[in-house]
Structure formats: structure tokens, C-alpha cells
Amino acid sequence: MLTKSQLGGRKVGKNTNTGRIAGFLLMLGLGCAGPAFPQASPNANAPRVDPAQAAAARAFEALDLAERRAIQRDLIWAAKFTGAATGEFGPLTFAAVKRFEAELKRPQDGILAPEERRLLTEFANIGRKALDFVIETDPASKMRIGVPREILKKRSTGPAGLSRWQDVADLVTLDLGLGKPEDTLENLFERGTSASVVGRKITYKLLRPDFFVISGETQTGRFYRRLEKGPDGSLRGFAIGFDKRLSPEFDHLVIAIASTFEAMPGAPIASFALAPGSSAPNTAATRPIAPEAKRVSAVEIAPGKFITAASAAICRSLTLGSAPVTIEKRGDALLLLAITREGGKPLALAANPGSEAILLQRDRNGALQTANALLSGGLAEAPLQSGGVGAALLDRAGRLVGLVVEEPRLVTQVAGVVPASRYRYADAKALADFAGLTPAPAATPRAMSAVAAEAGRSVVSLACGE
């Protein structure tokens, strides 16, 4: 974070194009973001929110949504905030505000006084102006996105007929894109993450009902792609590709760019904390901060019989809505539960699990979440969210291949999404031995969306009384 005098008094002694771009970003403090500060605390054993953070959250969330998001976008530039500019308050925002207050040598209470708010914008604008970072509108699609024009000096029309921005040496490319009428979010996601592309490594992938994010690398470059599905069903997004030699300096700038993207300007702003299909929060009201209630996922394996992780046994009580839950069997890693409910559909057990799976879990709001998972050495690599212990791992035929038995970790969101981590899981053999399940015959693979639509009825979210 730099003052105007510091910005004017520093020089970058590099002459190459990669050095020029990296030097710009280092000069502005947009390099490595330092320690990871989680925006949410999904682990039930984590320390509860302290009074200072609760007070800061009340002050922050009394502001309207547009102002809250503007503050977070400024924090990206002025205080190395690495969360999503959704307007939701958490430890990432709290820590970033305190870092900024420390820079000002002001009391670090996490509450921006009017003068601090003014200085935050001033400091952020130093970086934005130095990179000529402005919001550009695509003439054809009307999509809007922030562009560092000091770096991306060339604007042209890309293959999709929409705006493209590049640097003079073509080391960085930012493209806007639209889906075709026959495209679906799921099909484009599967195509974008296919392992059949030689030389491409997917480092992160996340699919939600209304958007997906994919990031990865090739031998020489890195890329980030986001695609959103609008209320009218149209697919709109952007992709950034850049020379690997620019990392990690350019990674933080990607966060700044992503925080400004508007697929459909004027449409309601979605929050990552909202369940798909739910309405936006009342931004005018002050929302008190309370410790997050613990939830666990469970999977129906026979009528009225559910299986989940053994860690759920620490709950004083388990409930599914108003229905009580009875523990019928305890194991080292698993619990067998009895729950009376209607409309369920037990999942069959897979006979020959592969190395890839579909993760199905219920988040803290009870919404079904879907993502890809890689299975190796007793660990599942997946973006597990709060409430995800007990999540189901399915094959492409919708059969159960495993169950996550480890609590979600405290992780920092990257450009608004939870990155993948590796979690212990109980495999198909362990499930069969514990619950007496018999593997089902082979079945025809289906698209992820079809599997999730059917198997989602078998995955439930249990409230944990503590």
C-alpha cells in the first residue's frame, strides 16, 4: 500500500515486457497477498466471532449493498483483500480494514470512520489511476468489466465478436464471451475441465447452478474463466490468460478485475452466501452477527436410513427440519442414522469406483451444491463448503462411491469461490462393510446436472444442536 509520494519516488529497473508488467504490480503492492484470512469460519471448533468483529460487522452491514461492495473493491487495492466483493462481512474484510487502519496508524477496530473511508478510496485510486484501471462496457453485449489499460493497451474484437484487451507483447489477454443458444452451463464446464486436453492442468474448478469458475495452467501460461447464467438463460462471462512469468503479481490483479465484472448490468447482485433461487438480503437492515450454526450433510442409503461422518456424534442433537434423528450404529469414521421422512430416494453403491467423482453436499443454508472431485490415496480433492462433512461422492451414473468424513477447512475464497482441498473420505468398501450395502450393477453415465437433479433428493442437511 503506497502513498502518492512513495508511488512517484519508486522506479522499476526492468526492461522486459514481463518485467515491466510485474514491476508495475509490485510497485503498487499488488503482489502476494500475504497470510490467508478466511472470510467465513465453517469449522464448528473454530473460535467464535469476537465482540470487536461483531461490532465491526454491524457497522459495515448497516451500509447499503452498493457501498459495502465499493469498500471491498477498494480494500482489494489498498489492503490486499482477497475475498469476493459481495458485500458480506467476515474475517477477510475485518482483517483487511484493520490492516488499512494500521497503515494509517489509527485504532484497529475494523470500523471505517468517515475520514478513513475517504482515505481508503484515495489510496485505492492511486493504484487504479497508476494502471488506468477503468470500467469498460462492451458495445455489443453491454457487459462491464474493469480493465487495467496501462497494461492492456490494445483493444480489439475477439473471436466471439466481443471486446478483447491485450498488452503490447500479447502476454495477457482478457476476453468477454457469450454462450451459443445450444450451449449449457454444464456442458461448457465439462468441456472446459476435460482431462483430454494435452498440456492443460486444471488447478481449480467449481460448478454452481448459475455460474462456474475454472482456473488452470499450461506449460507457459495461467488462465481464469468465469461464466454466468442470467435470468433469461443466456450465458455470459470472461476469461483471462497470462504468461506464467507474471505470477504471483498478476494473480491479485485478476481478483481486482473479477470483482468488477457485471454480466448483466442493472440486474440484482447475487451473493455467494445465498442459496440458488433465494432472494437478496435486506441491505437496509442491520444484521446482528451470531455464531454460525453447525450443520452436517447425510446421505440416504435405504428407506429411512442415512449415513454421515462420525464427527456428527458430538452434536447434542441432530434434526432434519422438525424430524428427530436417531443414531443406530457408530463406527470409527461413520454413523448410521434413522430418520422418518417422505419423498426420499436411497442411493445405490457403486461396484467399481474410478478416480473422479461428483461431490454433492448441502451448504449452511440447506442449498444443494455440486462440484467435481478427484479421488486418490484415500483423499478427495474438492471445494468443500460449510456443512459439507458427510457429503456424498458419486460416479457419473449417480451411484455412491464414497462419503466425506472430514470437516471443511478454514479457507480463503479466491475471486469469490472456495478453492479445492484434500479431505479424507470413506470409500465404497468401507460403506459396504459398515452399513451392509451391496454394490449395484453397472449403469449408464450421465451429465453432472442430471446426476445432481436426481441424487440431490438423497442428500440432506442436518442441524447440529450443541
Pairing of strands 235-243, 459-465: unpaired
Rounded CA-CA distance 32/209 in Å is 31
What burial class does residue 283 get, using C-beta atoms within 10 Å of its C-beta: 0-12 exposed, 13-18 middle, 19+ buried? middle
Q: Angle at CA 309, nearest 5°, toward 307 and 314?
A: 115
Please report how the helices 114-130 and 65-78 are oriented relative to each other, as an axis angle in degrees rounded to 10. Answer: 60
**What integer pLDDT is reported at residue 327 of this predicted model?**
92
Q: By the 8 A CB rule, do 459 and 392 touch?
A: yes
The owner of cell 490486499 is 80
Which grid cell sits at 212?
462456474
CA distances from 155 to 12, 163, 172, 294, 331 (A): 26, 7, 12, 49, 61
Please report how the helices 51-61 and 91-104 are oriented relative to each other, as an axis angle in degrees rounded to 10. Answer: 90
| pLDDT by 10s per residue, the chain, length 466 | 333 333 333 333 344 666 666 665 655 555 443 322 334 433 434 444 468 888 998 899 889 888 999 999 999 999 988 877 878 888 889 999 999 999 999 999 999 999 999 999 999 999 999 999 999 999 999 999 999 999 999 999 998 899 999 999 999 999 999 999 899 999 999 999 988 888 899 988 888 778 888 988 999 999 999 999 887 889 999 999 999 888 666 888 898 999 999 998 865 443 332 222 323 333 233 333 344 567 899 999 999 999 999 988 888 888 888 888 999 999 989 999 999 887 778 999 998 778 889 999 987 677 788 888 889 888 998 888 888 899 999 998 999 999 999 888 654 455 555 667 788 999 999 999 999 988 888 788 888 888 888 898 899 999 888 6
**What integer pLDDT is reported at residue 47 of this predicted model?**
42
Closest C-alpha among 258, 458, 255, 447 to residue 348 = 458
The residue ranges of DSSP E strands in 418-465, in sequence order, are 421-427, 459-465
Rounded CA-CA distance 414/418 in Å is 6
Give DSSP secondary structure letters for 150-165: TT--EEEE-TTSSEEE
Q: By the 8 A CB rule, do 442 and 352 touch?
A: yes
The owner of cell 451429465 is 447
Q: By the 8 A CB rule, do 433 and 339 touch?
A: no
Which grid cell sits at 120?
481508503
Alpha helices in 236-329 (DSSP H): 249-258
**What integer pLDDT is reported at residue 28 of this predicted model?**
55
DSSP at 396: T
Rounded CA-CA distance 255/214 in Å is 14
**What integer pLDDT is reported at residue 45 of this predicted model?**
40
Q: By the 8 A CB rule, do 375 and 284 touch?
A: no
SS3 242: strand
Give me Rg for the CA atoms of the chain. Answer: 23
